[in-house]
Amino acid sequence: MTSARRPTWRLCSAGGALVTAWWLCLASAMPVQASSDAATAGTTRVQVWFSNDRLNKDLMDCKAVFPVERRVPRTLAVAAASLRELFAGPTPEETVAGYRSVFSTTSAGLLKSVHIRDGTAYVDLHDPVQELSGATASCGAAEFQSQVSQTLLRFHTISRVIYAFEGKPRDFYGWMNESCGPANDNCDPQPFGRGH
Amino acid sequence: MYTVKVYKGDYLDRQLSANKDKAVAYVEHHFNSAGPTASYALVIVGSNASQTSVNWGSWYAKAVAEQFNTKVYRDDGVSRGGLDGRGDGNLKHTAMPAVLLEPLFVSNPQQAGIVRSVGGQQALARILVESIRRFFPQGGLIAFSVGHKYKKSRPKDRGAELAGGGNEADFAEMVLKQAAEMLVGEHAAPQPRKLRVMKGDTVLLETQVDEDAVLVWSSDRNLLFIPD
């Protein structure tokens, strides 16, 4: 675990023009921890969460994940930047430290888009098929969703996550062996449509 | 007397077809995947599962754990309704007892080796067959479903990759094929109770014992006592 300081967060206003609300929320979700040293100037600190069997006290708990810190070029789209870091998988150094994931360099381009509306992060992914084969096993699926959820739920504007492949939630949840229901808005594709 | 049918298509279609055929039991075979050290036997039953499904799944998970010297998931090896609901939809539409098997982790190199070996596949098939004979002694149609494979919605899905090569679905199918051969090919009539001594996958001794005999193992004497 590399994060030593607790970041502070800007508040996200619920008001504002609808067209830009999600973008503002996305921007305001970013940690405002200022970088004082020159080496980190112009960067944003993000956390991504991976599994780690050395840190996990209950190896049957597939949802146990642990944070690592990354620095990315300063951006307002912090949620997207965080997911891109997550989907690139652990670094070699993190792997040595026991962090692991279904994500790796081969899945680095997995994110198609993410937008936030009314507390829900809509994560649209490119259809991975081959790259994430272990992610649909009972334990692997729990790891997948826990790593993404924990990475996003750090942003106070996000309280839940809904996924899609290429704009189609039904494809994602079918791949995950999960039913469409209230928890995923019955796989409604509308929020993933054009305009986001 | 048993018959076996492998159901294909999307999971809902498989279940509805098995219902229509009046199968007496439904088995969907997967393997689990996580890290390289993950090691426990898990059976998922539907959120609406009968006690027969729970007992059957628990018996199977414990038998796998004993055979391969691993643990069972939580207390009894059974997850009701799946982990966060995953797997529930694969079973909850069945009208008969149904289990989704996750006996070993293919991400664990040692367990992947078992899955890849003929002896390991035979042992898994044998445990499944014994569980079916135990919980459905009257015989009937047993519905088999290969996890991930043969889905219309994602025809290329094969589940997790095995550590060292291969994929989950192909090996699950091999186990089910062997189990089907055992179920259909071996003694149609109910079998007497037998005691077996095994070394690895090899049966060293097999002898009939009374149905109500209480076998007593003496660790001090390394003796298994069978009453007259």
Q: Which two tokens stand for residue B84?
A: 């966060």
Instruction: Return the HEC string of B115-163.
Output: HHCHHHHHHHHHHHHHHHHHHCCCCEEEEEEECCCCCCCCCCCCCCECC
Contacts of A65 in chain B (CB under 8 A): none
Contacts of A100 in chain B (CB under 8 A): 35
**Within a domain: A53:** yes
What's the rounded Cα separation, in Å, for the pair A108 and B208?
59
| Model pLDDT, residue B190 | 66
**Within a domain: A98:** yes
User: Average pLDDT in the A36-58 region?
Assistant: 84
**Within a domain: A30:** no
Least CB-CB distance to B85: which of A62, A129, A178?
A: A178
Contacts of A141 in chain B (CB under 8 A): 83-84, 86
pLDDT at B175 over 90: yes
- Name all contacts of B224-228 with Cβ < 8 Å and 24+ positions apart: B224/B195, B226/B195
Q: What b/e string do you get for A82-116 counting C-beta neighbours within 10 Å, with b at 16 or more?
A: bbbbbbbbbeeebeebbbbbbbeeebeebbeebbb
> Could you give the number of structural domains in chain A?
1
Q: Name every residue in A having a CB less than 8 A away from some CB of B.
A: 51, 53, 59-60, 62-63, 100, 129, 133-134, 136-143, 145, 171, 174-179, 183
Q: Which two tokens stand for residue B181?
A: 């051969």
Task: For domain B2-191, give the fold.
Answer: Aminopeptidase (3.40.630)
**Cα A46 to the chain's mean position, in Å?**
11
Q: Do A136 and B148 touch (CB under 8 A)?
A: yes
pLDDT at A117 over 90: yes
Using DSSP, state whether B185 is helix, strand or coil.
helix
What's the rounded Cα separation, in Å, for the pair B62 and B38?
17
**Tens of pLDDT along A138-163?**
999 999 999 999 999 999 999 999 99
**Cα B6 to the chain's mean position, in Å?**
15
pTM of the model: 0.84
pLDDT at B115 over 90: yes
**Tens of pLDDT along B179-228?**
999 999 876 566 778 888 888 767 888 888 888 888 888 888 888 888 77
Residue among A138, A117, A136, A127 nearest A188 (CA): A117
What's the rounded Cα separation, in Å, for the pair B106 and B101?
13
Interface check for B13 against chain A (CB to CB < 8 A): the answer is no
Q: Which domain does A56 fall in, by range?
A: 47-192
What's the rounded Cα separation, in Å, for the pair B175 and B216?
32
Could you give the residue ranges of the DSSP H alpha helices within chain B? 11-20, 51-68, 109-116, 118-135, 168-185
| Model pLDDT, residue B189 | 63
What's the rounded Cα separation, in Å, for the pair A48 and A45?
10
Give, in order, the Cα–Cα distances in Å from B186 to each of A8, B2, B26, B219. Answer: 68, 10, 20, 34
Q: Which amino acid is at B2?
A: Y
pLDDT at A188 over 50: yes
| Model pLDDT, residue B187 | 66
Interface probe, candidates B30, B74, B84, B102, chain A, greatest A C-beta count within 10 A: B84
Q: CATH 3.40.630.40 in chain B: give the residue spans.
A: 2-191
Find the helix or strand (DSSP H, E) in which B100 lies.
strand B98-102
Find the helix or strand (DSSP H, E) in which A92 lies.
helix A92-96
| Model pLDDT, residue B227 | 78
Give the model's confidence band at A8: pLDDT under 50 very low, under 70 low, under 90 confident, else very high.
very low
Least confident range of A89-93, B102-106, B193-197: B193-197
pLDDT at A15 over 60: no
What's the rounded Cα separation, in Å, for the pair A115 and A156?
14
Min Cα distance B222 → chain A (Å) is 34
| Model pLDDT, residue A41 | 73
Least CB-CB distance to B159: which of A59, A136, A176?
A: A136
Give the model's confidence band at A29: pLDDT under 50 very low, under 70 low, under 90 confident, else very high.
very low
Using DSSP, state whether A114 is helix, strand or coil.
strand
pLDDT at A179 over 80: yes
pLDDT at A38 over 70: no
